[in-house]
Chain A
Amino acid sequence: MSNERRTTTHDQKLEARLACLEELFVRFAQTGTVENTLGHGFDSVTHHLCAMNNRLESIAAELTPLRTLSGTPVPLTEEDQANLYSMSRALARPVFKQKSLPVDARPVPYIGDGKHTTTDIYLIENRSTAP
């Protein structure tokens, strides 16, 4: 009698464990399905993106002739081009890099104070205070 009761209790424990294992197995199976679904979903999105990218590239290639409509140098005759460059050179102006000019100022004595330097009239360039 006691042996029968022990066997029944043991079977119940085994059944509980089997049920637990079964539940775990089902869960694993379900998780695999979700992963599969996600994987398939991403694969599908990637596929669509690739297709869209290819389509955009083909559109860009088809529009290339339109882009070249602007930005192409206009045809100029040799004479017109020469005139254009000549006017540009004729009106070229300086670009200053510094804010002030390099003035070389020297003290000027009063009349009668020390020797007064005479001017060399032939050194025209030296009239400027530029170094």
Chain B
Amino acid sequence: MIPQLVTRITQGVPANVPNPGDPALPGKSPEQAALQVLTADPYDLMLHMEQVWDTFNPWAPNPPPAGPARRALWAGGAFNRYAPNDHPAWDHLGYSYVLENTRAVQILRRVVREYRAGERLGIPSVATQRWLDATEVLLFGAANPIAPWLSTSAVRHDPEAVRRNAYWRMFGMDLAFGNEDNGPPAYERAAASNAGFVRLFEELLFELWQAIANIKNQIGPNNADQDRIFRLVEELRLMLRSRRQLQLLAREELAAATALGWAELTLLTDTPVVVDLKAEATSAANRLKLMGDRVGLPSHSRSAAFFSMAAELSIFLRNIESSVLNESNIALLYDAAANPPPPANNLAEISRRVITEWSAATGKDLKSRSRPVETTATRRRVAIR
């Protein structure tokens, strides 16, 4: 949600949108747009979040979630005119999962605590103080007029526990670390979870690698198996959709994408808080490492791979989960030349990036495997005498 909002600000808004008579909003540079978001009033960001959720209209054709009062509120928000036209305008839960594995949220929690508790980290600039206001609201549940979008309440008060629950249900995976004090994490593990996701996903990456490696091979033995790739995609789609019935987990996904999108935007460049913490570096992973060093909490050693694949993994999983990919066009996932021209994403290039970085992050060699994963066979009806 956050990177996408920055993109919409860079694009600007034409005149008479959304209402006749509205003046045009010129586009800004990505840096100006990022600064506008990072120093925004958290209430404006929350109102925009509500707007993104409502325009997505999760229960269509049933009535949308927001009532007239809430709509009237976001109409006065700073980002009201940047409503998205394409939905859902937030990243897949996989994006949040890999970024959270860098330990960025726990490190930012310590940064906020240190800044709020004393002056050990120095005096935060005005821009950093605004960032602190928003971070406490977006990531750590500070009181604000509209809380529901955070997906937290007295019943489930810890945002991290809510995200861990969602990761477990969608991917059957926990984060690579415990709580901030390295103790076991406390969250509800639902009985219904996609425990077989990782095996199926890695099998798909393996088959895609075979297809990519053989894309130019016209005469030798060719290990690419288009039908198997399609079967694996279909299995993954069914698995992911089984946790999505009637838009279950969509709000949790939006909340997680907002929190981790905020963390990513904080680290993508030398933002005010990065400068104040003297953590300037050339990559997000190095900035996070330096910030972690300042607050005494090490980041994940493979953070670079997580940051490098987060956006691509989001697009990859969204497309797999959608109904776009079928038997006739499955080559989109491995044949770069078969993809339509920009601005459509080149899914083959995205697959390649995910394969490379997933291998780097997990340490698994996706170019070899012990034995193939069995996909669910269609059950045949047998007559019983």
A interface residues, Cβ below 8 angstroms from B: 63, 66-67, 69-76, 80-81, 83-103, 105-106, 108, 124-125, 127-131
Q: A71-B335, A129-B126, A130-B33 are in contact. List 11 more A-B contacts (CB 8 A).
A: A88-B345, A90-B4, A90-B84, A90-B87, A90-B88, A93-B3, A93-B4, A94-B33, A97-B29, A101-B32, A130-B32
Interface CB pairs A-B, < 8 A, 28: A71-B338, A73-B338, A74-B331, A75-B328, A80-B324, A80-B329, A83-B324, A85-B340, A85-B343, A85-B344, A88-B344, A90-B4, A90-B88, A91-B89, A91-B311, A94-B3, A94-B33, A97-B31, A98-B269, A100-B269, A101-B32, A101-B35, A103-B127, A124-B78, A125-B78, A127-B78, A128-B40, A129-B127
Question: In the complex, A66 Cα to B218 Cα: how many Å?
Answer: 7
Q: Nearest Cβ in chain B — how far from A122, in angstroms?
A: 10
The answer to whether A86 touches B86, judged by C-beta atoms less than 8 angstroms apart, is yes
The answer to whether A105 touches B126, judged by C-beta atoms less than 8 angstroms apart, is yes
Question: In the complex, A93 Cα to B1 Cα: how many Å?
Answer: 10
B135 interface residue per 8 A CB criterion: no
The answer to whether A88 touches B343, judged by C-beta atoms less than 8 angstroms apart, is yes
- How many residues in B have their beta carbons less than 8 Å from beta carbons of A? 63
**CB-defined contacts of B216 to chain A, threshold 8 Å:** 70
Q: Nearest Cβ in chain B — how far from A53, in angstroms?
A: 21
Interface residues of B in 1-37 (CB under 8 A from A): 3-4, 6-7, 10, 28-36
B359 interface residue per 8 A CB criterion: no
**CB-defined contacts of B215 to chain A, threshold 8 Å:** 70
The answer to whether A96 touches B30, judged by C-beta atoms less than 8 angstroms apart, is yes
**CB-defined contacts of B32 to chain A, threshold 8 Å:** 101-102, 130-131
B159 interface residue per 8 A CB criterion: no
The 8 closest A-B pairs by CB, nearest first: A71-B337, A90-B86, A94-B30, A93-B3, A100-B270, A130-B35, A128-B36, A74-B329
Instruction: Contacts A66-B218, A76-B340 given; indicate if A100 touches B275 (C-beta within 8 A).
Output: yes
The answer to whether B31 touches A98, judged by C-beta atoms less than 8 angstroms apart, is yes
The answer to whether A101 touches B31, judged by C-beta atoms less than 8 angstroms apart, is yes
The answer to whether A84 touches B85, judged by C-beta atoms less than 8 angstroms apart, is no
**CB-defined contacts of B10 to chain A, threshold 8 Å:** 94
Q: Nearest Cβ in chain B — how far from A12, in angstroms?
A: 78
Q: Quick one: CB contact mask for B113-146 with A, threshold 8 Å, 1 for yes?
A: 0000000000001110010000000000000000
**CB-defined contacts of A84 to chain B, threshold 8 Å:** 319, 324, 340, 344-345
B314 interface residue per 8 A CB criterion: yes
The answer to whether A128 touches B35, judged by C-beta atoms less than 8 angstroms apart, is yes
Choose from B36, B89, B323, B332 the contact partner of A90 (Cβ within 8 Å): B89
The answer to whether B332 touches A130, judged by C-beta atoms less than 8 angstroms apart, is no
**CB-defined contacts of B311 to chain A, threshold 8 Å:** 91, 93
The answer to whether B344 touches A130, judged by C-beta atoms less than 8 angstroms apart, is no
Q: Nearest Cβ in chain A — how far from B208, in angstroms?
A: 15
Question: In the complex, A100 Cα to B30 Cα: how many Å?
Answer: 11
The answer to whether B218 touches A94, judged by C-beta atoms less than 8 angstroms apart, is no
The answer to whether A108 touches B331, judged by C-beta atoms less than 8 angstroms apart, is no
B322 interface residue per 8 A CB criterion: yes
The answer to whether B270 touches A74, judged by C-beta atoms less than 8 angstroms apart, is no
The answer to whether B315 touches A91, judged by C-beta atoms less than 8 angstroms apart, is yes
**CB-defined contacts of B31 to chain A, threshold 8 Å:** 96-98, 100-102
B38 interface residue per 8 A CB criterion: yes
Give the nearest-CB partner of A101 in chain B. Answer: B35
B83 interface residue per 8 A CB criterion: no
The answer to whether A99 touches B329, judged by C-beta atoms less than 8 angstroms apart, is no
B102 interface residue per 8 A CB criterion: no
Q: Nearest Cβ in chain B — how far from A130, in angstroms?
A: 4
Question: In the complex, A128 Cα to B336 Cα: how many Å?
Answer: 41
B39 interface residue per 8 A CB criterion: yes
